[in-house]
């Protein structure tokens, strides 16, 4: 899955969780993006603490790009 697809998938998953709870769809978009950014930030933080540099480099860059795509949504 590309970083752009993963970004959209995360935002969409969080957006679904607000359906029926929040009436304004614009608020869904904002909150979903914020939740997705928090989740990705946690993943990046975990990878930063990981011992293996080879795994860290590839996965870390992927999640950085996902975070950038979420900000572009």
- For the stretch 30-44, pLDDT in tens is 999 999 999 999 998
pLDDT tens, residue by residue, 9-31:
999 999 988 877 888 878 889 99
Range of the domain at 25: 3-72
Do 32 and 46 touch, CB atoms closer than 8 A?
A: no
CA distance readout (Å), 16 to 12, 29, 32, 45: 6, 10, 9, 26
How many domains does one find in the chain?
1
- Quote the pTM value: 0.83
Measuring CA to CA, which residue among 3, 22, 18, 19 is closest to residue 70? 3
pLDDT band at 48 (very low <50, low <70, confident <90, very high): confident
């Amino acid at each position: 899955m590309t970083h752009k697809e993963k970004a959209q998938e995360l935002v969409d998953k969080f957006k679904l969780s607000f359906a029926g709870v929040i009436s304004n769809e614009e608020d869904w978009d904002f909150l979903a993006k914020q939740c997705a950014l928090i989740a990705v930030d946690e993943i990046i933080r975990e990878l930063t603490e990981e011992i293996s540099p080879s795994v860290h480099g590839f996965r870390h860059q992927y999640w950085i790009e996902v975070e950038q795509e979420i900000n572009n949504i």
